[in-house]
């Protein structure tokens, strides 16, 4: 087990009053949320240990934007993990659930023993050890229960809205009865049977948890947070809504140079650019890419399109072994749209900074919860294109409940190719029509409330959690 520390941490005290050990699921959306939480906890004076395989710790640090993990007092622990299959995604599959990542998730069971060793080592020099684990890494709760001065808290990476539906459905109840005003949404296609078995095997270990954390906040989901707290899994346990976690440091001197996207956007009018990105877990077919390209071009709106393949389980093995490269409909496309559009097909982009840029007026997204929270906190309305898992519920929250988005991909027609006409219509509605302007006003109001809730000295629920574990 290797430990890596930041320069600030080389003279750490022999004893930490309270040490926090963080364990994410090895997937980008989960790594990112828990790395941001680690930073916020570290800033509140807690000793923070971030644990995972060497490849996934490296991935988390490499893709942090807006702040530099090497300048934080976070101790990274590289836990040994045996080789695992890292197959490429299948862009032709009509079901977009990332089955290619399941071998990685299942291999993470091998982290249990080295994680237990780390936990016991940290416990020797701490008054209390607090384990914050991804809800899908719940073996950590069991290991914490075996250490006298340790306690564990599950971190949920999905919205309270989606989690509420999942809780109802897991016990055979009709969640739609809670919200008769909303359209019925089938969960068919959200998960595979193999992943459902994986969820059940992990969630069965959460009984040892002392409480739960949600990456959300009351300005967005207050009603659903309260309903979720009444669910059997949360009764008699404390629950904190500690979001939003995505924040940008004002000073990142010595960090990476400003990204070309931000430079391109600098001279564009306010609220005039549609940002298009579909996350890290699903790949699009050549036919679907072509339809999106034509729709964006026909819309006559400015856009930034990040077009990349889904991650493999080990993104560094992906680089070494090569991977499919997404293809635009013709070689002349980039030149033809360059007056209005920018297509990025390589590298990693600073999404939070793009969404926070003054020229960004909309976000076409898969509606992963990371992306939703980032967009909502920046006051940017969304064009919803859900792919799998919690994303259809998140899309419903954005479009039907909050009223700050339009639908692009209908979940009931999820196995069909979305045509250029639908892409064009969604972009025009969100960016150019009165409907879109109204959504933008509502999104800006929500964003202001979210940023106010998370501003310095006002992050009440996170501070409440810190006070609780420091008692």
The Cα 232–Cα 237 span in angstroms is 10
Give the helix ranges, DSSP H, for 300-365: 315-321, 333-337, 351-355
β-strands 273-277, 360-365: how paired? parallel
Residue 326 near residue 238, CB atoms below 8 Å: no
Give the helix ranges, DSSP H, for 284-414: 286-299, 315-321, 333-337, 351-355, 369-377, 391-396
Write out the DSSP string of 410-463. -GGGTTSPPPHHHHHHHHHHHHHSHHHHHHHHHHHHHHHHHHHHHSTT--HHHH
Comparing CA positions, the residue from 241, 243, 190, 247 lying closest to residue 396 is: 190
The count of residues in the chain is 471
Determine which one of 16, 30, 56, 209 is catalytic. 30
Determine phi and psi for 361, rounding to 5 degrees: -115, -10
Q: 321-360: buried (b, 16+ CB within 10 Å) or exposed (e) per residue?
A: eebeebebbeeebeeebeebbbbbeeebbbbbbbbbbebb
Comparing CA positions, the residue from 403, 273, 258 lying closest to residue 342 is: 273
Contacts of 213 (CB under 8 A, 6+ apart): 37, 132, 153, 154, 155, 156, 239, 240, 242, 465
Contacts of 252 (CB under 8 A, 6+ apart): 66, 67, 68
Active site residue 134: yes
Determine which one of 36, 49, 65, 134 is catalytic. 134
The Cα 354–Cα 344 span in angstroms is 13
Task: Tell me the CA end-to-end span of the chain in Å, nearest whole number.
Answer: 30
Reported as type and span, the H/E element at residue 51 is: strand 47-53
Helices and strands (H and E) in the chain: how many: 18, 14
Catalytically annotated residues: 30, 134
């Amino acid at each position: 087990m290797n430990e890596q520390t930041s320069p600030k941490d080389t003279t750490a005290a022999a004893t930490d009053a309270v040490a926090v050990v963080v364990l994410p699921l090895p997937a980008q959306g989960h790594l990112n949320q828990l790395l941001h939480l680690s930073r916020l906890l570290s800033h509140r004076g807690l000793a923070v240990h971030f644990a995972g395989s060497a490849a996934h710790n490296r991935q988390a640090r490499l893709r942090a934007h807006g702040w530099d993990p090497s300048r934080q007092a976070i101790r990274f622990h590289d836990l040994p993990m045996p080789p695992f299959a890292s197959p490429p995604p299948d862009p032709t599959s009509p079901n977009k659930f990332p089955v290619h990542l399941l071998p990685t998730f299942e291999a993470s069971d091998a982290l249990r023993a080295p994680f237990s060793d780390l936990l016991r080592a940290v416990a020797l020099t701490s008054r209390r050890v607090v384990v914050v684990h991804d809800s899908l890494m719940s073996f950590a709760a069991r290991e914490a229960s075996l250490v006298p001065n340790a306690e564990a808290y599950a971190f949920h990476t999905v919205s309270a809205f989606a989690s509420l539906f999942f809780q109802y459905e897991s016990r055979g109840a009709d969640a739609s009865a809670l919200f008769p005003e909303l359209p019925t949404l089938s969960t068919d296609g959200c998960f595979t049977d193999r992943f459902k078995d994986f969820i059940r095997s992990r969630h069965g270990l959460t009984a040892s948890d002392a409480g739960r954390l949600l990456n959300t906040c009351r300005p967005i989901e207050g009603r659903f947070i309260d309903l979720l707290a009444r669910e059997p899994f949360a009764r008699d346990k404390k629950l904190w809504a500690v979001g939003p976690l995505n924040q940008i440091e004002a000073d990142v001197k010595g960090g990476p140079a400003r990204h070309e996207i931000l430079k391109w956007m600098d001279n564009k009018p306010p609220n005039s650019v549609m940002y298009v990105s579909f996350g890290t877990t699903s790949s699009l077919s050549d036919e679907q890419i072509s339809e999106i390209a034509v729709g964006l071009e026909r819309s006559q709106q400015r856009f930034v399109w990040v077009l990349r393949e889904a991650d493999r389980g080990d993104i560094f093995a992906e680089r070494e072994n090569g991977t499919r490269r997404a293809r635009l409909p013709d070689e002349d496309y980039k030149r033809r749209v360059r007056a209005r559009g920018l297509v990025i097909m390589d590298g990693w982009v600073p999404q939070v900074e793009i969404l926070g840029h003054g020229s960004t007026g909309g976000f076409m997204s898969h509606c992963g919860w990371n992306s939703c929270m980032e967009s909502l906190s920046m006051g940017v309305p969304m064009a919803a294109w859900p792919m799998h898992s919690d994303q259809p519920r998140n899309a419903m929250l954005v479009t039907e409940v909050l009223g700050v988005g339009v639908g692009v991909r209908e979940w009931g027609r999820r196995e069909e190719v979305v045509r250029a006409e639908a892409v064009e219509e969604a972009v025009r509605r969100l960016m150019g029509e009165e409907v879109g302007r109204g959504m933008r006003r509502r999104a800006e109001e929500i964003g202001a409330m979210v940023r106010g809730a998370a501003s310095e000295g006002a992050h009440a629920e996170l501070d409440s959690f810190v006070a609780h574990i420091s008692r």
